[in-house]
C-alpha cells in the first residue's frame, strides 16, 4: 500500500524536476517508509512506500532485466501462484508481491492485469515500446487519477497531488457538485475537479507520447443471470470461497487487525480470521458518546470476547465532530459526503497508534450478497411498488442542477444481458457507488495515517460465486444477505446473524441539531454555496438535521471540502474557524 505518481511529456523532453518534487511531497503521507524516483527519457515514475510485504528488498520501482519498470500501490494476493507458474524462466530478485506483475507487463503488454488477483493501481514504463501503462483493479479498491495537458500526461494516487503540482486548477465542476449533493458521491470518469479523470475500475490505459492510445477493461462481475444451486451446496461453496479469500488477504510481513463493527460482515471476518490463523485477533471498534440505537460497539466487544480477540473500543463525541471534520474533509479530496468518514478516520488513527499497518474491513459484502433494501425491492411483490433506485436526490430536483442524474442513467442504460433486476442494481452499485464512495472513504481515511485497508469480500473468487447466486439467497421480505447470514449462524452461532441491519452511522444529526443555528449561520455565507441553494433551503436543512441528517451533513461537508480543496485554506482549525475563514476569503 503506497502512493504513486508520474509524468510523460508530449514532446519527448525529460519531465520538469520541480513538478516531480511537488507530486512527491503531496503524496508523502501515503508512503512514510521510503520513496523511489525514476526519470528515463520522456517519462518519470514516483513511488512512496508503505512497507507491508518484503520489507528489505521490496523497494520500488521494480525492474525486469529487459528494462521494464513498475511502481504499484496495492497487494497482489496470487503472488505465490504467479511465482510458481513463472519460476522456470523468470529471474526474480525480490520477494515483493508486485514483482511478477512487472514481468507479466513485459510479456503481455496491456493485457498483463488480467492475470492479477488483488487490489492495485499500477504504472509500468516499457522503454522498448516507449509506452506507459496504467492499471487499476476491477473493483477500484485502489485509486488512480490522471490529467492530460498541452505539455504532459500526468497521474497520481490522489487528485490533490495533481493540483498541488500545478497540473490542474483549483476549481469545481458545477455538474459534479450537483451530483455530489444529490447522491453523496460523483460517478464516472470525470472527477469534481475539471480536467482530472479517474482510471476506471478494471481499466488499463496505454499511453504513448503523452496521449492515451488504448483502453482495456477487465470486468469485476461475471456475466449472466442467477444460477440455481441447492442451499447445502451453496453453504459449502460459500465457506470455501470465504476462507480462501480471507487466507489470501492475511498475507503480510507486518501486524494486522480487523475493524469490527458488530454487524454481519465484520463478524464473519472475525470468525474466518480466527479459523485461518488460530491466533488472537486485534480488533478495533468505535461507538458514540451516550450510545444509542446506532451504536454497535458493545456488541463488537461481546463478539470479540467470545472469539478470544482483543478489542480496542474508541468513543466518538460531538467534540471530535466539531474539531476533526475539517481535517477529515481535507483528506477526502475525491469528495464523498458519507458521514462514516468521521469514525473511519478515527479508526485509522487508532490502528496506527496500536502498531497496525494492515486492517481487514467488511466493504463489499452488501453489494455482492444483497444487503441493501434497494436490492430486495427489485423482487416481487416489492418490485410492483418500488421506484427506481436513486431516482430522487437529497434536495429534490432544482432546475439549476439539471443533469445531476446523468451518470447513474448512463450506468442504467448499459446492456446487462440476462441479469436479473436485482443483479442490475447490484452491478450499478459495484461500478459507481462502491469505488466512488465507500472505497474512496476507506482509502483516504486510512492512508491519512499510513494504514492499509483490505477487503476480502471484494475478491474475484468471492464475486464469481456471490453475484450469480439465486436472488432469493440474497434478499427476502425481511432480510438481505440471506445466505451469508445462514453461514454466519452456523459458523458463529452467537453472532446474531439475523439481527436487523443498522449500518455504520455516527449520530451527526444529533450533533448538528445541537448547534443547528450556528452551523446554518456559518454555511449560508460560504462562497462555495453562493449559487447552489437559496438561503431558506440551507437553513431548513440544518433545522431538520435531527430527523433527516444527510442534507445538512452534505452541505456542511461540501463547505469544508471546498474551503480546503478549492479555496486552498488550511484545515488546522475547527468547523467554526474553517468556515469563518472561508467567508472572509470569498
C-alpha cell belonging to residue 320: 471530535
> What is the spatial distance between Cα 465 and Cα 396, in angstroms, rounded to a whole number?
38
Alpha carbon separation from 464 to 50, 345, 431, 467, 469 (Å, rounded): 30, 31, 15, 6, 9
CATH fold for domain 2-217: 3.60.20
pTM: 0.96
Residue 208 and residue 308: Cα distance in Å, rounded? 54
Determine how β-strand 62-63 pairs with β-strand 211-217. unpaired
Q: Where are the beta strands (DSSP E) in 299-437?
A: 310-316, 358-360
| CA distance linking residue 527 with residue 29, whole number of Å | 29
Residue with cell 454555511: 523
Q: Do residues 4 and 156 make contact, with C-beta atoms less than 8 angstroms apart?
A: yes
Q: What are phi and psi of 457, to 5 degrees?
A: -70, -25
Q: How is domain 231-495 classified at the CATH fold level? A: Rossmann fold (3.40.50)
pLDDT tens by residue, the chain, 586 residues: 589 999 999 999 999 999 999 999 999 999 877 788 999 999 999 999 766 665 566 678 999 999 999 999 999 999 999 999 999 999 999 999 999 999 999 999 999 999 999 999 999 999 999 999 999 999 999 999 999 999 999 999 999 999 999 999 999 999 999 999 999 999 999 999 999 999 999 999 999 999 999 999 999 999 999 999 999 999 999 999 999 999 999 998 888 999 999 999 999 999 999 999 999 999 999 999 876 667 889 999 999 999 999 999 999 999 999 999 999 999 999 999 999 999 999 999 999 999 999 999 999 999 999 999 999 999 988 888 888 899 999 998 888 899 999 999 999 998 878 999 999 999 999 999 999 999 999 999 999 999 999 999 999 999 999 999 999 999 988 899 999 999 999 999 999 899 887 767 899 999 999 999 999 999 999 999 988 999 999 999 999 999 999 999 999 999 999 999 999 999 999 999 999 999 999 7
Q: Quick check: bond before 263 cis, omega within 30?
A: no
Q: Indicate the domain borders of the chain.
A: 2-217, 231-495, 508-585
C-alpha cell at 332: 477526502
C-alpha cell at 388: 427506481
Peptide bond into 381 cis (omega under 30): yes
Helix residue spans in 332-434 (DSSP H): 341-353, 365-369, 373-376, 406-413, 421-428
Amino acid at each position: 500500500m503506497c502512493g504513486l505518481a508520474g509524468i510523460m511529456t508530449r514532446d519527448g523532453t525529460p519531465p520538469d524536476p520541480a513538478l516531480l518534487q511537488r507530486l512527491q511531497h503531496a503524496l508523502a503521507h501515503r508512503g512514510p517508509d521510503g520513496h523511489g524516483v525514476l526519470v528515463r527519457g520522456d517519462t518519470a515514475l514516483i513511488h512512496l512506500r508503505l512497507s507491508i510485504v518484503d520489507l528489505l528488498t521490496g523497494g520500488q520501482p521494480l525492474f525486469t532485466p529487459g528494462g521494464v519498470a513498475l511502481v504499484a500501490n496495492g497487494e497482489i494476493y496470487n503472488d505465490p501462484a504467479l511465482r510458481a507458474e513463472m519460476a522456470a524462466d523468470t529471474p526474480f530478485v525480490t520477494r515483493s508481491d508486485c514483482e511478477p506483475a512487472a514481468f507479466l507487463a513485459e510479456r503481455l503488454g496491456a493485457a498483463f492485469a488480467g492475470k492479477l488477483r488483488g487490489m492495485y493501481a499500477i504504472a509500468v514504463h516499457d522503454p522498448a515500446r516507449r509506452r506507459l501503462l496504467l492499471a487499476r483493479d476491477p473493483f477500484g479498491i485502489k485509486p488512480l487519477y490522471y490529467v492530460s495537458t498541452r505539455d504532459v500526461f500526468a497521474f497520481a494516487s490522489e487528485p490533490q497531488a495533481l493540483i498541488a503540482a500545478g497540473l490542474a486548477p483549483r476549481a469545481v465542476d458545477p455538474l459534479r457538485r450537483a451530483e455530489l449533493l444529490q447522491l453523496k458521491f460523483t460517478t464516472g470518469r470525470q472527477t469534481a475537479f475539471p480536467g482530472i479523470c479517474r482510471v476506471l475500475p478494471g481499466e488499463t490505459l496505454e499511453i504513448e507520447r503523452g496521449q492515451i492510445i488504448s483502453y482495456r477493461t477487465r470486468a469485476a462481475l461475471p456475466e449472466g443471470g442467477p444460477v440455481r444451486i441447492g442451499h447445502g451446496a451453496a453453504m459449502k461453496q460459500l465457506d470455501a470461497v470465504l476462507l480462501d479469500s480471507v487466507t489470501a488477504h492475511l498475507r503480510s510481513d507486518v501486524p494486522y487487525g480487523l475493524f469490527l463493527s458488530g454487524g454481519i460482515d465484520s463478524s464473519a471476518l472475525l470468525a474466518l480470521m480466527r479459523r485461518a490463523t488460530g491466533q488472537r485477533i486485534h480488533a478495533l471498534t468505535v461507538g458514540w458518546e451516550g450510545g444509542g440505537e446506532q451504536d454497535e460497539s458493545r456488541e463488537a466487544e461481546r463478539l470479540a470476547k467470545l472469539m478470544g480477540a482483543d478489542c480496542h473500543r474508541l468513543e466518538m463525541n460531538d467534540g471530535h465532530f466539531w474539531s476533526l471534520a475539517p481535517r477529515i474533509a481535507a483528506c477526502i479530496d475525491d469528495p464523498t459526503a458519507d458521514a462514516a468518514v468521521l469514525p473511519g478516520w478515527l479508526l485509522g488513527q487508532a490502528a496506527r497508534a496500536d502498531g497496525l499497518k494492515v486492517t481487514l474491513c467488511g466493504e463489499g459484502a452488501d453489494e455482492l450478497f444483497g444487503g441493501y433494501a434497494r436490492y430486495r425491492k427489485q423482487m416481487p411483490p416489492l418490485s410492483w411498488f418500488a421506484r427506481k433506485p436513486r431516482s430522487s436526490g437529497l434536495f429534490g430536483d432544482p432546475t439549476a442542477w439539471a443533469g445531476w442524474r446523468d451518470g447513474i442513467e448512463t450506468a442504467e442504460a448499459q446492456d446487462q444481458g440476462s441479469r436479473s433486476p436485482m443483479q442490475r442494481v447490484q452491478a450499478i452499485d459495484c461500478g459507481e457507488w462502491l469505488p466512488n464512495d465507500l472505497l474512496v472513504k476507506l482509502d483516504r481515511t486510512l492512508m491519512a495515517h499510513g494504514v492499509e485497508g483490505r477487503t476480502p469480500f471484494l475478491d474475484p473468487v468471492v464475486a464469481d460465486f456471490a453475484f450469480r447466486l439465486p436472488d432469493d439467497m440474497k434478499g427476502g421480505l425481511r432480510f438481505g444477505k440471506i445466505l451469508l447470514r445462514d453461514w454466519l449462524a452456523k459458523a458463529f452461532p452467537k453472532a446474531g446473524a439475523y439481527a436487523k441491519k443498522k449500518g455504520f452511522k455516527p449520530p451527526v444529526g444529533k450533533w448538528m441539531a445541537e448547534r443547528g443555528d450556528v452551523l446554518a449561520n456559518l454555511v449560508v455565507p460560504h462562497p462555495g454555496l453562493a449559487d447552489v441553494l437559496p438561503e431558506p433551503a440551507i437553513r431548513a436543512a440544518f433545522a431538520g438535521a435531527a430527523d433527516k441528517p444527510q442534507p445538512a451533513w452534505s452541505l456542511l461537508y461540501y463547505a469544508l471540502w471546498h474551503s480546503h480543496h478549492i479555496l486552498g485554506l488550511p484545515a488546522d482549525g475547527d468547523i467554526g474557524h474553517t468556515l469563518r475563514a472561508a467567508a472572509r476569503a470569498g
